[in-house]
Chains A and B, each alone.
Chain A
Amino acid sequence: MNRVLNRQPGDSILGPNLGNRPALSRRAFVRGAGALVLSFSLRPALFAQTGLPGNLRRQPELDAWLRIGTDGAVTLFTGKVEIGQGIVTALAQIAAEELDVAVARIEVITADTERTPNEGITAGSTSVEQSGAAIRQAAAELRHLLLERAAARLGVDAARLDVVDGVVAERSESGAAATNVPTLSYGELVVGAPLNRPATGAIAPKNPSQHRVVGTSVPRLDIPAKVFGEPAYVHDLRLPGMLHARVVRPSSYSARLVAPLSTAATLRMPGVVQVVRDGSFLAVVAEREEQAVGAARQLAGAANFEGAGAVFDTRDVSATLRAASSQRVVVRERVASSPMPAAVELAADYSKPFLAHASIGPSCAVAQLDGAETEKPHLSVWSHSQGVFGLRSALGRVLGLPEDRIQVIHRQGAGCYGHNGADDVALDAALLARAMPGRPIRVVWSREDEFRWEPFGSAMSFHLAGGVTRDGRLAHLSSELWSYPHSTRPGREPNLLASWHRATPLPSPAESTGPLSSGGMDRNSIPLYDVPTLSVIAHPLLGMPIRVSALRSLGAFGNIFALESFIDELALAAGIDPLRFRLQNLGDPRAKAVLEAAAHAAGWTAPAAAASSAATMGRRRGRGLGFARYKNTAAYLAVVVEATVTLGESPENGRPSAIELDRITAAVDAGQVVNPDGLRNQIEGGILQAASWTLFEEVKHDGERITSSNWSSYPILTFSHAPDVRVEIIDRKQEPSLGVGEAAQGPTAAAIANAVYDACRARVRDLPLLPRKVRVALAARG
């Protein structure tokens, strides 16, 4: 029986981990806040407040978000985390704007299970929409309370008060800053007089036309430490008495450690403190880091992992996916009441391979177990997880510890781009901390393990068919897609690597024969174009032969690559300029506006002219378009790629084929922009990362194990291949902010493929877009 996939794309990765449990314990509050702060009571949020914006609904207590010290310092608490996307700065700007304090006065505390609101996972381009909206409202209400109090003390109507950097004073008649009038600072207003209120939603935040901080390019708060080499990452955490550990992983997904294992030789190595084995989970703890690395290498040689590997043929991803067991799910189906006759009919198949997050810094965590001998042990875990509350739940389940005995504290890692090994290494550290109570244990993954064990972005296969009417309208479109799941984040189900390897293992999603989460694969599978007759069918694949989970934009990267390539194919088959074709089939004016802005900025001209003008010396230039509204609910983005294709005969004859990206121009509409430079940074980065995925990347597997294990077997984009990227922003101050962090991924892939076709008439439908595939496509065309 058919069922409808979840139409709220954000839910699939946010749902399981958001709850209404109290965000702060009394102990954490007293310890974290001291005596100097405004003291709200910490009532648990027993019921959701439905009229409040963003995540304020989940945690309405104002002081769960913002506290003001008697020195006027503002502490902002967010459950979202910095992953290089600049969210800490954007949220500080929002709070500074509403409170009328300088950004520099704000300290931001990010996800900590004992200190901050539970805001689920930092994913899905939702932080400004959810956390930002909550902070804006909380700050507006806090300012209102402070002004009420100031009005009473100053004997002035609150409506006559102004705030300049946290100092309240009566506005002068002229409206100019008054001199010699009594003032009260926020710090003075909170001395000895607690405020206590949940948000009401009754206070309106500023009108965006009054914004002075939001909408400006405030420099990122986290960058200076990173420029001067100060400790900034979980990798830089150094605790007294800390020991270093390394894990020895099985040789493949299904291999297991065969007993017995002699550890005597390892234990005799200098600095080795302990070898920990629990089933096939094997690790070594040492005084020094290099001793742990060396001992792990020795131990790996001594360990005998046995078992046949998973069977998955990555040579023809599409065929393998379509042959696998799957369900059939109708994502969207509609039939026009009066079908339009199509003058052009086309069908095509596309695919994308498994892609690695391939963080530049391997996964790392530090854990410490205190009070192990008491009735109240406390496990502290420092982690770069994107979801510290979900991780706490998962750790509790694996370790058999109540959640209130576990504190997960976020520390930055290298960019993760989704669910990588961050959560897994936290369990590694926790298991070893339990084996070595009282000592902080630091675990870092090797580069090889980072590649071999991270959950990849799933490979996908697509079949599209469509028709265009005589007057250039889309008459009908149908698509089918095949994919493994796009989110298996820890939470309700632990899904932590070491839990599968222990003597008493928890079930891994790989062993599942039923459907896993289908959320994410259908992201952006429904076109934003006006299509009278539409059919989108998803085939969620059962089981998980290769470990997969959330990679930036989930299924949207593949869906948009396929759809926007196909839209170009339809346009060209109908003899219509791809820009014009898109514009005449889109009803949404904001969608049209980004397409027109990108095309204008790139100097879009008829593709035929562009192709012929530079076709010299076997080097052909072309340009291509790509467009999407991310999730069909978040930011609009259009991108023009200009590329040069060099048509060599073969790599051996000294004139290899090559695809060079010359210039990329994007236009984005993300509603109200909090930080324009931060937005540009995200889009530029998303475009270049997507270019890397599109041109170079593919996780390889030999049928037994992952063979992409380092940067030479998994090459990525480098400086000599990085084009100039220009980003135009359409700032709509009166529109709500829209998530933007993942908006560039899909459109960029399609624009590259469309530019390559424009350059040399070779249509490559299987990523990565390697030069040899261009040659094959040309040969097939004859």
Chain B
Amino acid sequence: MAQLIVNGRHYEVAVPDPAIWLLYVLRNDLGLSGPKFGCGLGQCWSCTVLVNGIPVRSCVMSTDFVEGKAITTLEGLGTPEAPHPVQQAFLEEQAMQCGYCANGMILAAAALIDSNPNPSDQEIAAALDRHLCRCGSHGRILRAVRRAAEIARQRIAG
């Protein structure tokens, strides 16, 4: 039995082995679709989730290691009615083509502007550099993250 806190809710998950990768528990036991299987090797970051606000790769993260910690998936970031600034910016910039990598991009950007409300272009590129996008949406994603930071600052100011 694994005790998990995901998107603010407590779960007791009956997993045969608590050391299995977190990605499978989130997708198959909790029915979440945000985190994606991309490589299973910790190379592409499609499987990103936030653990206590830090982006981690759920495809190479043992479930028992994150028990009791606050896990945030894309579903927990915002809703269509109340989107997170990064989600709003990705919609406004149409910042994807296939969108398979968007989960990791959005969560990494959310973590970045949470710790650095006014990131430079270089800081954004550095924060996302390990996240792979195959469609070539890099320019739009960078624009969306800049816009997200603006939206977040405006929300605080407003």
Contact = CB atoms under 8 A, between A and B. Distances in A.
Given A360-B46, A415-B134, A711-B43, A229 B98 contact: no
Contact of B139 (A291, A415, A678, A724): A724
A288 B63 CA distance: 15
Given A415-B134, A681-B94, A711-B44, A232 B33 contact: yes
Contacts of A291: 16
A711 B16 contact: no
Contacts of A444: 37
A616 interface: no
A223 interface: yes
Contacts of B129: 718-720
Nearest to A384: B98
Contacts of A691: 136
Interface stretch (A113-121, A233-241, A254-262, A759-767): A233-241
Interface in A713-736: 716-720, 722-725
Interface in B77-129: 77-80, 83, 87, 90-91, 94, 96-103, 106, 124-126, 128-129
Contacts of A687: 136
Contacts of A447: 38-41, 43
A604 B128 CA distance: 32
A84 B138 contact: no
Contacts of B132: 360, 711, 716, 718
B28 A415 contact: no
B58 interface: no
B16 A360 contact: no
Contact of B135 (A84, A220, A719): A84
A684 B37 contact: no
Question: Most chain-B Cβ atoms within 10 A of its Cβ — which of A233, A289, A291, A716?
Answer: A289
A87 to B, nearest CB: 11
Contacts of B99: 84, 222-223, 226-227, 232
B136 A692 contact: yes
A358 B36 contact: no
A519 B28 CA distance: 43
A359 interface: yes
Contacts of A710: 39, 41, 43
A227 B33 contact: no
B134 A359 contact: yes
Given A84-B97, A224-B80, A229-B75, A271 B16 contact: yes
A685 B137 contact: yes
A230 B98 contact: no
B136 A717 contact: yes
B96 A270 contact: no
A238 B139 contact: no
Contact of A235 (B24, B37, B83): B37
A32 interface: no
A681 B93 CA distance: 10
A370 interface: no
Contacts of A233: 33, 36, 100
Contact of B97 (A235, A413, A685, A724): A685
Given A447-B38, A711-B41, A719 B142 contact: yes
A288 B94 contact: no
A289 B25 CA distance: 9
B100 A219 contact: no
B41 to A, nearest CB: 6
A228 B87 contact: yes
Contacts of B36: 233, 235, 361
B45 to A, nearest CB: 10
B4 interface: no
A415 B100 contact: yes
B158 interface: no
B136 A686 contact: yes
A360 B134 contact: yes
B20 interface: yes
B20 A290 contact: yes
B125 A227 contact: no
A360 B38 contact: yes
Contact of A270 (B16, B27, B73): B16
B139 A414 contact: no
Contacts of A216: none
A425 to B, nearest CB: 13
Interface in B48-90: 73-75, 77-80, 83, 87, 90
A56 to B, nearest CB: 28
B133 interface: yes
Contacts of B101: 360, 414
Interface in A77-127: 83-86
A427 interface: no
Contact of B28 (A83, A231, A289): A289
Nearest to A744: B136
A84 B134 CA distance: 11
Question: Most chain-B Cβ atoms within 10 A of its Cβ — which of A86, A444, A712, A722?
Answer: A722
A689 B41 contact: no
Given A361-B36, A681-B97, A228 B79 contact: yes
A223 B106 CA distance: 13
A415 B90 contact: no
A327 interface: no
Contact of A719 (B17, B31, B73, B131): B131
Contact of A226 (B77, B96, B138): B96
Contacts of B130: 718
A222 B91 CA distance: 11
Nearest to A712: B43
Interface of A: 83-86, 219-220, 222-224, 226-233, 235-236, 238, 270-271, 288-291, 293, 358-362, 412-415, 417, 444, 446-447, 677-678, 681-682, 684-689, 691-692, 710-712, 716-720, 722-725
Given A223-B90, A224-B91, A227-B99, 13 more contacts: A220-B94, A227-B102, A290-B24, A359-B100, A414-B134, A681-B94, A682-B97, A685-B137, A691-B136, A711-B132, A716-B134, A719-B141, A723-B139
